[in-house]
Each structure stands twice: as structure tokens, then as C-alpha cells.
Structure 1
Amino acid sequence: MKKIILSFVALIAFVPATVFANEGMWFLMHIQRLNHRDMQKMGLQLTAEEIYSINNSSLKDAIVQFNGGCTAEMISKDGLVLTNHHCGYDAIAELSTTESNYLRDGFWAQNRKAELKPKSLYVRFFVRMDDVTKRMLAVVNDKMTEAEREAAINQETAKIQKENDGGGKYTVSVRPFYQGNEYYYFVYQDYKDVRLVGTPTESIGKFGGDTDNWEWPRHTGDFSMFRVYADTNGNPAEYSENNVPLNPKHHLPISLKGVKENDYAMILGYPGRTNRWMPAEGIEQNVKYAYPAWVEGSKMGMDKMKVHMDKDAAVRLMYASKYAGVANYWKNRQGMIDALSKFKTADAKRKNEAKFNAWANKPANKAKYGEVVPTINKYYAMTNEKARHDNYLQQLLRTSAFGTISRGLGKQLEGYAKADVAKRAQLKPGLQEMINGFFEEVYLPAEKDILAGQLALYNAKAGYKIAPSVEEMAKANNNDFTAFVNAAFELSMFTSKEKLNAFLEIPSEAMITNDPLNKLSNDMLTHLTTRSDELTQAQNDYSKSFRLLVEGLRESKLSPIQYPDANSTLRLTYGKVRALPADKRNDAKINNYTTLEGMVKKHKAGDEEFNLSQPLIDLYNKKDFGQYADKDGSLHVNFLTDNDITGGNSGSPVLNGKGELIGLAFDGNIEAMAGDVIFDDKLQRTINVDIRFVLFIIEKYAGAKHIIDELTIVK
């Protein structure tokens, strides 16, 4: 029988060393075999063991996943953890009030007792990983449907998790790679007592706002600082005043030497998702159907939020995090449309798939691979219109707090109504807390406008088959949803804390079932996930064909990609400090860094995106940069590298060849926005905060020298 999985190591043997360059998000356990020599040639001075070791402390012990969506790094022996401002944004906003607005005004704890604990925040340490491909593939076969395959995989996954969780001490995740052709398990340890130590003012941490987002030249101090606490034995523990700062196995020393063109730079972090193996017609679907709907739906939600945020400081704070998240992907998706169209990425993929199809239809390959490309193309042709529909509906659900109410609070209350008296007594305190939390995050006038606007947009633009209840409302109200939404908010118990608390005293399943907002939410969510038998079969065939496409591309050596897509597992990427072509907007001598001078030049008094405080301007005018000035006398703010990163790498450490911290990754450049699908060696850049600017803000601007004293600084 022909071998199903081609060994990754064997495949690499046929690939010239130049394939690595700066492209690729690599597993740490493969560094010794696949990357180490290449990295040494570029400037790495560490051994592979110093990067990834199971038995000894190594770089990987200083890297954490931050709250499930970003990356952060340990920078002191007393548990200090550094990440991006936008990664800490949720926690900072939660801790802020109109009287103590840390998001706007910044915050620096003068001692450890003054550090602030958000309700829910955790960091995840990576312990080890291993290859379980043979084991996982042994429980599946080609005769299985995709549902049967998934069930078998899930059953084996549960066994692996139990075998490696240390009796509940660790979190274990088994993940597929190369579209299910390989499997690895990852062991993690989570720490949940994480407290805010410091954050710059929003005018620094978010300088440039949406205008500069994804742009270069950039002048943003995108950082925030937290501390991880543990019990007295160093183990994870729930929040307690008795907890002590964690002493991590490794923390990063910080270099003040700065960077120059062609300096070695590597980044370790948790990239969220790339689609480098995506078929051509999938790219085409995103560009022409899915992403335009995403962009328009996001913009609708943002515009409705902004009206109310501009009127009321409390509302602005309430919606700050949601607005920032929606805005980030709104600009990202438009950039993806532009970049993928400009570079004709789908056409390039089609040409490669045509070569694969010719190989697949050779007599030796036809039985297994002959129908792979036609099956994939058929699926995308069938789902193009649905992709547009789904993205309009998903943005409605994402921006409206009431869009998903039936799967959140509604589902919990339904369970409460069905429970017996004893069970209700157990559930009630948690539900009361959930109700209070919900109303801390919603402003009803804004929610009315968001829901009415999104329903109107969805009804007008989604096409395909829209949710039945929305279609009925449109016909009954002449496509104007304002009256319906106003009436629904008046009648629904989900718009009143008092009504919900009254429900807890006298629960009724019928009240939940017949609630107008709960019914609408349930209808939309059900409609989004419902699949016809024809579509279910097409998805089954597509999933199998996509897996075979990736397997076949690797077997035929027709794919230029030699690494798995990102999926929120720890990866390493390496490259160099690398300039973009000269840009008159940048005052720097070389277009690979920006300065405080350029930041001050962008200052616009009173502008919400480009306003700087007078103390920072005064420090610039005095050139009071202390030990953080560059050799040229200026203070560098951001710099560029050509590392291969994506969302989830936000907050990742940028390290020099000695493993010393030189910066924080926080963004990419819009010219290479197609980077999640195709790597552009000429244009793709990572935008980083210079660590010297971070320390300058902490010491000179915020006056928090006690924090500087905690760090291991290399001059």
C-alpha cells in the first residue's frame, strides 16, 4: 500500500536551503533538524536546546499565550509579563471607570499591592509537544465519512489528553496539521491570577488609531505590562492575597543596543490562523463574496457604536474594546481584498493546481487524486452566495450583543427554568452574576441602533436564503426594522435587569421560548448552522479532497510551502531587520525605524488619534531620552523586520541572536496584507515597538523606575 504521509524531514531533504529565508512559522521541536544551521548563518548564537528543551529551562519557557488570543513574554524573575497595549485592552477597559480611566490616562502600580486584578485573565505556558500522527491516522480509514472520521479522531484525542494531563495539572491539546495529514499534541499549564502592572496612556498605546493601523511609517507605543501570580509553591492558583509573584523558569534579558539593517531577528509566539494551503477558488470566494460582506457588516456595526460613543464617555469606555476589535478586522479584510486582487493570488494558485491536476491524473495517481481539484472547485461554486450571506449574518451577530443572546444568557435561563428547585438554588448565584455582567457591557440605545441597522443591511444585501424571521419582519415593516426592534426591546425581558431577576424568582420556560429577542437570536443562529443534505455531502467531499490536495501537493513536491498553517500553536519565525523603500513621510535616515521626532510631528492637539500629552512633548524638546537614545541621538519608536507572522503574534517578543529582547511585534504593513494566504518576500514586514521606547515611557514618562529595576538589562 502506498505510504499516506510523506515524512516532513524527508521532504525537506529535497528542498534547497534558500527555501527557508524569512518565510515560515516553524515548530520548536523541529528547529534542530530543519532550521538551526540556516538560523546560525543569519546570526543566531543560541543552540537549539537553548530555544526548546523539555528538561532544562529554555526560551520557550519565557513565552506565554496571553488570554487565549495574543502572545506575551516573561521579563523578570518576579513574574512581569509584557504584551501589546491592544492585547491588554479588554482588561484595561474592564478595570477603568469614568473617574479612573486607565485606558485613557494610563496606569502604573507604585507597588505590588496596587496592582489590579481583572475578573478573567490568564496566561498559558508551553510545556512540551510530540508527534502522534501514526497513532491518530491508525484509527481512521478512507471508507469513513468525515463525521465518522471526526468521531474516531475525537475519541483518540480524549485518550491522549488523559494520558498527558498529569492528573488535571496540565491542559492538553491535540491539533491537526497539513489539513489532517499530521497530528501533534501540546501540553500547557495555565495561570489565572494575572494583574495589571502598567499601561501607557491611550494616546501612546494606540497612537495613530484606525488611520495608522496596518500602516508604515508607524509611531505607536503598543505595550502593556502585567504580573503573573502563583501559590507559595509556584503552582497555578485562583486569585488570593496570599499568592506570590511567579518565578518563571526563564525570563528574557533586555538589550539596549538597538538594531540596524540586516540584524538577525526571531520571533516566538502563537500565530492564530493562516491559509497558505487554501485552494484557488477559496481565495476567490473570500475576495469576491465573503470579505466584502465582512467589511460592510463591520462598518455598519462600527458606525452605529461610534455615534453613541462620541456622545457619552461612559459608553465610549463600555464599547472601546468591542469597537477596536471590529475596526481591526474591518481594515484587515479590506486590505486582504486589495492585496489578493492586486497580486492575482487566485490566478497563481490556479496555475499550480493545474500542474497538480495533471500529476493527479497520471495512471499511478488517478484513483486517489484524480477528482480532488474538480471536487474542491464544485464545492466553492456551490457555496459562493452562501459565503456572502454568512458573513453579513456573522457581522450582525458579532456586533449586536443581542444577536447571540439565545446561545448565551438565554440558554442558561432555559436550563434554569427546566431545573428542579434544588438545582435552581445552585444555579441562581452564577446567573445573577452573569446578568450583572451582561448589563455592564450593553447600552440599550446603542444596541437598538446596531440591531436595526444590521438587520436592514442583512435583509438588503445577504441574498441566498435569509433567516425566515428576518424575511417575515421585512415584509411586515416595509424593510424598516426600527419599529420591530423598539417593540422587541420593550417586550423582551433581556433588556431589563429587573425583569431577568424577577424571572429567577418565578421561572417559566414559555417566557424564554416566546421572548422576541431570544426567538430572533435563536432563528438567526439556527439558520446560520443549518445545512441541507446536498450541502452536507458537498462539505464531506470537500474536506476529504482538501486533505488529499495537501497530501498530494507534498507528495508531488509541487507546493512551494514547506510548513503547516498557523493554528494558535507556538511557532518560531526568523529573519532580519529590513527596510522598506525610502518614504518621504518618515524622518528616519533609513526606512526601517521611526523616531519620537516623527511622532511629535504627527501630533494634532485634540485629535483622538494623534493627540500627544504635553509631558511627552516636553521630554522630546529637552531630548531627555536617558540611556534609551540610539547612537544617533534620536529615540527610536518602531522598527521593521521581515519575520513571517500573523494575528495572535501580537505581543510576541522580537529577539536578537543572543535571545535578548529588542522589541515587541504588534502589526504588519498593508502592502503585504495578503500575507495570511501568500508570503511576499519583497514587501512583507513585521512592525515592532522598539524595547528602548517601552522602557523610556516607563521610566522617563511614567516615572516608574522601580519597574526598570526589576529587569535584566544588557547595555
Structure 2
Amino acid sequence: MFKKIILFVTLSIMVMPATVKADEGMWFLMFIERLNHRDMQKMGLQLTAEEIYSVNNSSLKDAIVQFNGGCTAEMVSSQGLVLTNHHCGYDAIAELSSEEQNYLKNGFWAATKKDEMKPKSLYVRFFVRMDDVSKRMLAVVNDKMTELEREKALNQEMAKIQKENDGGGKYTVSVRPFFQGNEYYYFVYQDYTDVRLVGTPPESVGKFGGDTDNWEWPRHTGDFSLFRVYADKDGNPAEYAADNVPLEPKHHLPVSLKGVQENDFAMILGYPGRTNRWMPAGGIDQNVKYAYPAWVEGAKTGMDNMKKYMKVDEKVNLMYASKFASTANYWKNRQGMIDALTKFGTAKTKAGQEVKFDKWANKSANKEKYGNVLSTINKYYAATDLKSGHDSYLMQALRTATYSVLPANLGNGLIAYAGENEAKRAEMLPRLQGALENYYGEFYAPLERDVFAAQMNLYAKKGAAYGLPSMVAKLSAENGGDFTQFVNNATEKSIFSSREAVEEFMKNPDAEVVKNDPLYQISTDLLNQYRAKSPELGAMENDFQKSFRLLVEGLRESKLNAIQYPDANSTLRLTYGKVRALPADKRNDAKINNYTTMDGMVKKYKKGDAEFDMPTKIIEMNKAKDYGQYADKAGFMPVNFLTDNDITGGNSGSPVLNGKGELIGLAFDGNIEAMAGDVIFDPKLQRTINVDIRYVLWIIDKYAGAKHIIDEMTIVK
């Protein structure tokens, strides 16, 4: 499942005073005391390092969970209540919705715990502890190994470490490389799989502004949803059961109603997905000129062909809502990356650093180890520029067109099924039925047909410069690059045209029928192309990976790059900064451009508009100033606010905390002008857009009338 990327926020590019800067870094919690605690105290932190991260006692880290593998969430009550973004819960909410009970559109609030709803698959992951195993891991490798030999040795050692620390299967253990394989740490987690929907605002609140406001400021989005974690009677993870009980977490976050002011301390704990701040200049250039433009074009093609069916059929809209939202998010993100990286000359900045590195690397003491590093890296990028564009077009076809992957993946299983006796088929049947549900559970054949044809037309045209797989190339030549007729004919004849057709085939399976199926053949062709790697490319990748690792090692050794934190890779991190305004903006009614108000939200209202419609009740309550205890002391109803924390994708739903460790908001977005932050940190541009926790509580209590949920929380006034 593809989750929303969260990066950096700003409204416009401008020169800031030298004394105003964001605090760079996505820090390991185990190093907070040594590296960051004193600096954080100066900025307003009132907690000890032990209160943030402790192995033996409850601490802030015990309230932070990874949500379904892609977002972040936090425990906000002693009864297992979990708060995250609306877009993080989007899949589950859509799955639980129907045309008759459209919770995605209308919202949902469980009146009692018995009314809470369990989606098919949803889990949260608690962080238990971590430790440094760099010396142990690096002791099993040497410079004479190929990258494949190195990987094999490292994987064998990883397996040993994982087994030593999994508590006999109680925990999930992950050993991860950092600084491009120059350091290694292991992480111990505990997963809970009985997670149920408690509440969600209507989409007109949770997604207010839609794609137009995505990555923009000022923002007025109530991007939150609520779930609950259940466990067995002893508090252990358990599969869904009626007699499971709400989990009592080791720590839950108190919720502050005090609000935020400019320069208030703000820290965020969460699971940032990926940054590439060690990426060489050649990699940045390749993305900007080849990979990202192809991604943008491919994503837009998929979206256009999904949307024409979604807008006329609510059932289809629910089926594809999450897939469309994810595709649209990446589409805008990649275009923003192109614009930001180009505008700020990020590749040029990196290239300047690399010139200095090359001089250092070619000094006599360093030349043997580092002398060829940059030339090897640049040679690899030059050889793979066309491939990167080709791969992005192909990837978008695979991501958005089910017919591009379903026939090959399911077909191989059906071929095996056809070749077995009755007893073996009975053994295989549950797995195949699960695959059918996975592929056809949210599947509308006319939409899938048109998305596939459009993606094939685009891929055949734009991927040809690098080289197309044989069947695709042949069909393209025969049909003048137009796959429409082929796809129409193939889907009519194919056993993969519908779930019913596959089930009918399984009554009398014949492997040759699958092998001769046109959709199976072209899908197999596409996947083989995606996985193909020539010996020459394999050799270049081997040299590149080694050189990239040496580049990072050399940059750290030479002090030419002083970054002390590792790139994000979905492991728990802490980032700290301040509430920080942008220059005044006439589009924002706020007195200081670090927050937005409900008045500003109502001004954006467009009745019936897919992006800017809003519940009439909110308009009426705002007119009456019916804000209850959640209003700011200045009298307005806050909606969103800005901080300058260093975050990225995966931080969606992360808690924004004040100096006392109290919840003041949820991180949910960033700004398109600052997207170069994925590869280079800019203290002038860094911002994060957050939902003000007071707006969250107002929606739950005053708008939805679900005060019983508020009563669970520890409210600090």
C-alpha cells in the first residue's frame, strides 16, 4: 500500500535572517542524550533523555507506533486509542465503506467499543529497543568480496542477530544498514494485528482542499482518524477475537489545549520513510531529467483513466479511492521534486562538494582506496540514464494497471495448480482463493482495460529509446503504437478478465490455456523486462554500490560532509525545531502566517465541489463561534499550523509535541517548493504542516458529538 509522502513546507522562496534556521536531522533516540539533549533544552525541552527513550522504563517511544507499515501514529489514551492521519487510515476506511454506508464520504464515530470495526488487514508496530552492531556486521565482510558475496555474508549474520533477539518469536527484529552500509543497527518491534476503526471525519474535512491544496500553504485540512489496538487479556498481541480487550500501552500522550505560538519548541517522533542526502550529483540529474518526468507522465495517465470511471459510479470510486489518492500524491510530489531540484541547482551544489572530495580522494594517502570512486559512480549514471526513464514508465504501468501484473503472477500459480493431482490442488486452493480476493476484490474491468491500454501506449512510445520487451515491441510495430484494439480483444478472450472466469477455469484447469492466454503472455513479458539484468549491468551495479559506500565513508572521514544522522529508512527518529511562520500571505486571514483558522477554511468553501465542499454544520457552528474549550485564547478556531521540523514520507500521522511531551498536533504535509529537501536540507525553506490538536478535538467533540472519545484522553488545559 502506498502511503502519503511528507516532506518540507514553505510558501515562497526568500532570504531569511542568518539567525533563523531549522534544525536539521532525523535522530536515533538512543543518541539523543549524547548528540541533541542540551541543544533541545536550550530550545524549550523540559524532558530528560530517559523520558524520551528508555529500554527499562516507560518513555515517549512507547506511545509511538508505525501504522500499517507506512505511516506513524500515537497512543492517546490508556485504552489503546490510536491517532493518525485520515490519509493513513484511508485504505481501511474505504474498505469498511459501502454505497449504503459510505464512511469515507460521511464519516464514522463508534458510539461504543462494540461498534468499532475491524478491517481485514491492519497492524501497528511498537518499538522495543535498538542497538549498534556495526563492528559485528562489518567483521564478516572484506574489500575483496563482490557486492553479492558481501550481501550474502551480511544476510547470514543478520539472521543470527534476528534469532538472538526475537524472544522466541515474540518480537520482530530488523537489522538495517546506515550510511550506505558503513554502519548497522538492529531494531526490536512488537506487532499488534487487532486494530479497529473508532472514528473518522467526513472526507470533506479529512481531505479538504484535495489535490489542489496538496503540498501547499495556507492549508485547512482535518487530516486525522482514530483507531484502537486490541490485545488478549494479558496484553499480548492476538488475532481478532470478540473477547480481545483494549490494549493498555506503557505510555500514552497527554493532549494539550494550550495552543502554539511563534518560536515554541516542537519535536516530532515518527517513522520517516526515505531520504537520499548522500545521493551523488549524477543521481540527482538522472532523476530530474529522466526518472521523475517519466513517473509524472505515467502517473497522470493512470489517474486520467481511473477518474473517468470513478466520477460516474460511487461503487467504483470507493474501490479505487485509495489507489487514486496515492497515485495523485506521488504525481504531484515528483513534479515538485523536479521543480525544486532544478530551481535550487541541487545537483550543482552536490557536484561542487564532489570536486572537493575528488581532490581529497586523489591525495597519495587516499588514492588507492578512493581515487576511482567518483569516476565509477558517474560512469554508472551515464550508462543508466535511459534505463531510469524506461523503468519509471514501466513502473507506472505496473502500479496503476492491474492487467500488467495480475495475469503473470496469478497465471504462474494456475499453471502449477493445473499440473497437480486432486489432493495437491486441495492443498493449494486456499492460497489461490486468497490471491483471487487480493486481485479481484477491488477490480472494475472497464477501468482496468482502459488504464492498461493507455499505459501500454505510453510505455511503448516513451520506453522504446532504451528498448522494449519482445512481445511489446512486436505488437507496437503491428499496431502503430496503439494497443487499444489488442487490449480490447485480449480482455474479451482472457481467463483473467474476471474472477468468475478464473474460477470457471479452475474447475477444469489446463496449463496450456494459461500459457496461450494473451494477457498472461504480455504481462509475463512486462515483468520479465522489469526484472531483467544483463551481466554488464550487474557488473556496473556491483562497482557502483561499492563506490557509493566508499563515497559516503570518504565524505565522513574527510569531514567534507558533516551529517551525523543517517538517512531515513522507516526506522523511528526524532526531529526537533520550532513553530515558525512564513512571510505574510494575503491568502491567509491569520495575524501571523504560522497558523490557519476556520474562518479561512469557510472562505475556501465551494458548495458541491469535490475538493472544497464542507459540511453545512461546520459553517453554521463557525458563524455562531461555537468553539467550546477548543478556541484559541485570541478567539479564533485554529485548523493547521507550521513548524520547521525535518521530516519526510512516513512521518504522516506523527505526533507534534511541546517541551513537556504533550501532543499539540499531527504532522501531515509539506510544501511543494521545498521538495529538494529529500536530497539536500535547506534551513531557509524547511517547514512541516500540522493539524492543530484543538481542531481535531473540536471535530470529535463539538461537530461529531463523540465526547466519550475525548473523555478517554488525558487533557491538559
So what's the TM-score if we normalise by structure 2?
0.96
Q: Which residue of 2 aligns with 1:487?
A: 489
Q: Partners of 2:617 and 2:101 in 1: how far apart?
A: 20
Q: How does 1:128-527 map to 2 (within 5 A)?
A: 128-406=129-407, 408-462=409-463, 463-527=465-529
Per-residue deviation, 1:20 = 10
Q: Which residue of 1 aligns with 2:604?
A: 602
Q: Judge conservation of contact 2:272–2:650 (CA < 8 Å) in 1.
A: yes
The one-letter code sitting in structure 1 at the alignment partner of 2:575 is T
Per-residue deviation, 1:191 = 0.3
RMSD, aligned CA: 1.2
Q: Which residue of 1 aligns with 2:12?
A: none
The one-letter code sitting in structure 1 at the alignment partner of 2:343 is K
Per-residue deviation, 1:430 = 3.5
Q: Which residue of 1 aligns with 2:540?
A: 538
Q: Which residue of 2 aligns with 1:9?
A: none
Q: How does 1:94-133 map to 2 (within 5 A)?
A: 94-133=95-134
Q: Partners of 1:606 and 1:504 in 2: how far apart?
A: 46
The one-letter code sitting in structure 2 at the alignment partner of 1:627 is Q
> C-alpha deviations, 1:369-410, integer Å up to 9, x for none?
000000000000000000000000000110001211156433
Secondary structure at the aligned position of 1:402 is classed as helix
Q: Which residue of 1 aligns with 2:659?
A: 657
Within the candidate set 676, 689, 692, 2:691 is matched to 689
Q: Partners of 2:34 and 2:185 in 1: how far apart?
A: 17
Q: Which residue of 2 aligns with 1:13?
A: none
Q: Which residue of 1 aligns with 2:7?
A: none
Secondary structure at the aligned position of 2:618 is classed as helix
Between 32-41 and 559-568, report the one with greater CA deviation. Answer: 559-568
Per-residue deviation, 1:529 = 1.7
Per-residue deviation, 1:533 = 1.4
Residues 234 and 647 of structure 1: CA distance in aligned 2, closer, same or farther (over 3 Å): same
Q: Judge conservation of contact 1:661–1:691 (CA < 8 Å) in 2.
A: yes
Q: Which residue of 2 aligns with 1:68?
A: 69
Secondary structure at the aligned position of 2:404 is classed as coil
Q: Partners of 1:47 and 1:152 in 2: how far apart?
A: 39
The one-letter code sitting in structure 1 at the alignment partner of 2:666 is L
Q: Judge conservation of contact 1:580–1:683 (CA < 8 Å) in 2.
A: no
- Can you give the 5+ residue segments of structure 1 that lack an aligned partner in the other structure? 1-17
The one-letter code sitting in structure 2 at the alignment partner of 1:581 is P
Secondary structure at the aligned position of 1:658 is classed as coil
Secondary structure at the aligned position of 1:198 is classed as strand
> C-alpha deviations, 1:93-113, integer Å up to 9, x for none?
000001100000000000011
Q: Partners of 1:63 and 1:408 in 2: how far apart?
A: 36
Between 674-683 and 188-197, report the one with greater CA deviation. Answer: 674-683
Q: Which residue of 1 aligns with 2:94?
A: 93
Secondary structure at the aligned position of 1:638 is classed as strand
Per-residue deviation, 1:233 = 0.7
Residues 109 and 477 of structure 1: CA distance in aligned 2, closer, same or farther (over 3 Å): same
Per-residue deviation, 1:520 = 1.2
Q: Partners of 1:577 and 1:411 in 2: how far apart?
A: 54
So what's the TM-score if we normalise by structure 1?
0.96
> C-alpha deviations, 1:94-141, integer Å up to 9, x for none?
000011000000000000110010000000000000111011101111
Q: Which residue of 2 aligns with 1:705?
A: 707
Q: Judge conservation of contact 1:73–1:81 (CA < 8 Å) in 2.
A: yes
Per-residue deviation, 1:437 = 4.0
Q: Which residue of 1 aligns with 2:43?
A: 42
Secondary structure at the aligned position of 2:668 is classed as strand
Given the alignment of the two structures, is residue 631 of structure 1 paired with residue 633 of structure 2, yes or no?
yes
Q: How does 1:570-581 map to 2 (within 5 A)?
A: 570-581=572-583
The one-letter code sitting in structure 1 at the alignment partner of 2:174 is S
Residues 222 and 295 of structure 1: CA distance in aligned 2, closer, same or farther (over 3 Å): same
Q: Which residue of 2 aligns with 1:15?
A: none
Q: Which residue of 1 aligns with 2:25?
A: 24
Q: Judge conservation of contact 1:671–1:684 (CA < 8 Å) in 2.
A: no
Q: Judge conservation of contact 1:115–1:197 (CA < 8 Å) in 2.
A: yes
Identity %: 72
Q: Judge conservation of contact 2:599–2:622 (CA < 8 Å) in 1.
A: yes
Per-residue deviation, 1:510 = 2.2
How many residue pairs get matched?
A: 698
Q: Partners of 1:100 and 1:37 in 2: how far apart?
A: 52
Secondary structure at the aligned position of 2:88 is classed as helix
Residues 414 and 29 of structure 1: CA distance in aligned 2, closer, same or farther (over 3 Å): farther
Secondary structure at the aligned position of 2:329 is classed as helix
Per-residue deviation, 1:172 = 0.6
Per-residue deviation, 1:613 = 1.1
Per-residue deviation, 1:413 = 2.7
Secondary structure at the aligned position of 1:124 is classed as strand
> C-alpha deviations, 1:258-315, integer Å up to 9, x for none?
0000000000000000000000000000000000000000000000000011111111
Per-residue deviation, 1:622 = 0.5
The one-letter code sitting in structure 2 at the alignment partner of 1:55 is N
Q: Which residue of 2 aligns with 1:14?
A: none
Q: Judge conservation of contact 1:61–1:249 (CA < 8 Å) in 2.
A: yes
Q: Partners of 1:419 and 1:163 in 2: how far apart?
A: 39
Q: Partners of 1:86 and 1:674 in 2: how far apart?
A: 23
Secondary structure at the aligned position of 1:493 is classed as coil
Q: Which residue of 1 aligns with 2:13?
A: none
Q: Partners of 1:95 and 1:498 in 2: how far apart?
A: 23
Residues 199 and 54 of structure 1: CA distance in aligned 2, closer, same or farther (over 3 Å): same
> C-alpha deviations, 1:467-510, integer Å up to 9, x for none?
22111111121211111001110111111222211232222222
Per-residue deviation, 1:563 = 1.3
Q: Judge conservation of contact 2:193–2:240 (CA < 8 Å) in 1.
A: yes
Per-residue deviation, 1:532 = 1.5
Secondary structure at the aligned position of 1:672 is classed as helix
Flag as ranges the 4+ runs of structure 1 deviating above 4 A. Answer: 18-21
Residues 157 and 415 of structure 1: CA distance in aligned 2, closer, same or farther (over 3 Å): farther
Q: Partners of 1:514 and 1:489 in 2: how far apart?
A: 13
The one-letter code sitting in structure 1 at the alignment partner of 2:489 is A
Between 562-571 and 548-557, report the one with greater CA deviation. Answer: 562-571
Q: Partners of 2:606 and 2:461 in 1: how far apart?
A: 39
Per-residue deviation, 1:513 = 2.3
Q: Which residue of 2 aligns with 1:51?
A: 52
Q: Partners of 1:255 and 1:25 in 2: how far apart?
A: 24
> C-alpha deviations, 1:323-376, integer Å up to 9, x for none?
000000100000000000000000000000000000000000000000000000
The one-letter code sitting in structure 1 at the alignment partner of 2:107 is G
Q: Judge conservation of contact 1:25–1:566 (CA < 8 Å) in 2.
A: yes
Q: Partners of 1:598 and 1:55 in 2: how far apart?
A: 47
Per-residue deviation, 1:241 = 0.3
Q: Judge conservation of contact 1:444–1:495 (CA < 8 Å) in 2.
A: yes
Q: Judge conservation of contact 2:588–2:600 (CA < 8 Å) in 1.
A: yes
Between 499-508 and 661-670, report the one with greater CA deviation. Answer: 499-508
Q: Partners of 2:507 and 2:20 in 1: how far apart?
A: 66
Q: Partners of 2:509 and 2:165 in 1: how far apart?
A: 43
Residues 200 and 401 of structure 1: CA distance in aligned 2, closer, same or farther (over 3 Å): same
Q: Which residue of 2 aligns with 1:8?
A: none
Q: Which residue of 2 aligns with 1:4?
A: none
- Can you give the 5+ residue segments of structure 2 that lack an aligned partner in the other structure? 1-18
Considering Cα pairs closer than 8 Å and 6+ residues apart, tell me whether 1 or 2 has the greater RCO: 2
> C-alpha deviations, 1:626-659, integer Å up to 9, x for none?
0000011001000000000000000000000000
